[in-house]
Amino acid sequence: MKTDIILAGVGGQGILSIAAAIGTAALNNELYIKQAETHGMSQRGGAVVSHLRISDKPIYSDLISEGEADLILAVEPLEALRYLPYLATKGYIVTNTTPFVNIPDYPTAEEIMKQLHQQTHLVAIDADKVAEDLGNKLASNMVMLGAAARFLNHIDLTALEKGIAELFSRKGEEVVKANIDAIHAGKTLVDKQFQD
């Protein structure tokens, strides 16, 4: 059983923290991981992507093949569309709807949402708003991680919580709790959508 995840966003939006949280959880569950990141030039406000692969068997390629990603987890809606060729037919897009506009030719929000809704399996939430309601604007990436939780095979919520606790332990209990709250908020919202 493998899970191939494309993590997409803009440099500085915290996709590496998402990757680190999932990665730590996966290792605690004694799974294999490989995680290819974007460093360097494009980190300066450019498009960034991370290929995160989790499996119970050894993983060879650092990169996901086209058409084989189980999940595109995007913290920005335009970036969700950038990696569509990687998504498997059965794969899900889980995306934040708050745009990050730093280019002159950024499309309108309506155009982007129209394209997103044309995709077969879509979960779209306003993670920035959820994070703001929690009083922690910076945690929108963790809200998105929570939103994607139900699509992470072999990693349950407890494992994610533990991963986050490990990852943020140095920053103190408050930070750990704020991030765990953000995950719960994201997960609850999406679980509710699936019940309806």
Residues in contact with other proteins, shown as a per-residue x/- string from 65 to 94 under the rule CB under 8 A: xxxxx--------xx-xxxxxxxxx-x---
Residues in contact with other proteins, shown as a per-residue x/- string from 95 to 114 under the rule CB under 8 A: -------xxxxxx---xx--
Number of residues that bind other proteins (CB under 8 A): 55
Least Å distance between CB 151 and other proteins?
16
- Do 54 and 5 contact (CB within 8 A), yes or no? yes
Q: Is 59 in the site for other proteins (CB under 8 A)?
A: yes
Least Å distance between CB 36 and other proteins?
4
Q: Is 3 in the site for other proteins (CB under 8 A)?
A: no
Instruction: Tally the C-alpha atoms within 13 A of residue 35's C-alpha that lie toward its C-beta.
Output: 20
Contact pick of 17, 28, 29, 32 for other proteins (by CB under 8 A): 32
Phi then psi for 55, rounded to 5 degrees? -160, 160
Residues in the chain: 196
Instruction: Name 189's Cβ contacts closer than 8 Å, sequence gap at least 6.
Output: 125, 130, 146, 147
Q: From CA 108, how far away is CA 101, in angstroms rounded?
A: 10
Q: From CA 41, how far away is CA 11, in angstroms rounded?
A: 10
Q: Is 115 in the site for other proteins (CB under 8 A)?
A: yes
Residues that bind other proteins (CB under 8 A): 10-11, 23, 27, 32-47, 51, 57, 59-69, 78-79, 81-89, 91, 102-107, 111-112, 115, 119
